[in-house]
Amino acid sequence: MHRALIIGAGRIGAGWNWKDDAYTHAGAYRALKERVELIAFVEPNPERADAAEKKWGVTSYETLEEALTSWKPNVVSVCTQPEDQINVMARLEADPFVEAIWVEKPYMGFPSKKAVQVNYMRRADLLHRNIARDLPGGTLIVYGKDDLTTKCHFEDLARFWCASLDYRPFQGPCAYVYQHGGRAEWFDNGGVDGGRCFKGILGNLLDHLEFGYSLWSPHE
């Protein structure tokens, strides 16, 4: 049984002001509770910390140091703001008990020697995986917000599909088209089941720890 700590009790970590609890790191840990136990959060914001404790029934600590000392987790989710990510990753790298890190995008490039799974969740979706296997090398046309958090998802998807990327800024719900060999596949408003993909990405990380399977979204 693995022991998991989540750093950051915002929307993606704990479902703060978010309608779909499955589409969170905490939800994925609970979905795989036979393999991994969610033990705590790290969240300095008192309102978010209190909400996470009530929703998920575990303790929330103000500092990472206190949580690591108290629980010695071997799996850690990093759901911080991008500007805080490298400092957090450096502390986890130095911790002897941490074996695996599930980190939110955009990944800021910390050169970790631990098992690091970046949460590019489309890599866990069966249709997206089938395209990577059977139809690589086309053109990915994306209509999405012109910000780092949105764009990095599709930059990774283009890498996954070995495709060229045509990114077209659009201030509505994101959508994208994959063109290959005279055919086009349309994905409206994201095109994935977020909860299922979160569970799949986490399951793959645990499979890597237990059986040595390759990571679906490596950080290199």
User: DSSP readout, 12-48?
Assistant: HHH-TT-S-TTSSHHHHHHHTTTTEEEEEEE---HHH
- Any residues with CB less than 8 A from the CB of 134 and at least 6 apart, and which? none
Is the per-residue pLDDT at 191 higher than 80?
no
Residues 165-173, mean pLDDT to the nearest whole number: 92
Q: What digits encode the pLDDT tens for the residues 107-138?
A: 998 999 999 999 999 999 999 999 999 999 99
Is the per-residue pLDDT at 174 higher than 90?
no
Tally Cβ neighbours within 10 Å of residue 173: 11
pLDDT band at 219 (very low <50, low <70, confident <90, very high): confident
pLDDT band at 218 (very low <50, low <70, confident <90, very high): confident
pLDDT at 180: 94
pLDDT at 34: 98
pLDDT at 220: 66
Q: Which CATH superfamily is domain 2-120+194-211 in?
A: NAD(P)-binding Rossmann-like Domain (3.40.50.720)
Residue ranges covered by each domain of the chain: 2-120+194-211, 126-188
pLDDT band at 77 (very low <50, low <70, confident <90, very high): very high
Q: Which whole-number Å values give the CA distances from 76 to 38, 103, 125, 194, in the listed order? A: 10, 8, 23, 20
122 vs 120: CA distance, rounded Å: 6
Mean pLDDT score across all residues of the chain: 95
Burial of 41 (0-12, 13-18, 19+ CB in 10 A): buried
Is the per-residue pLDDT at 190 higher than 90?
no
* 0.75 surpassed by pTM: yes
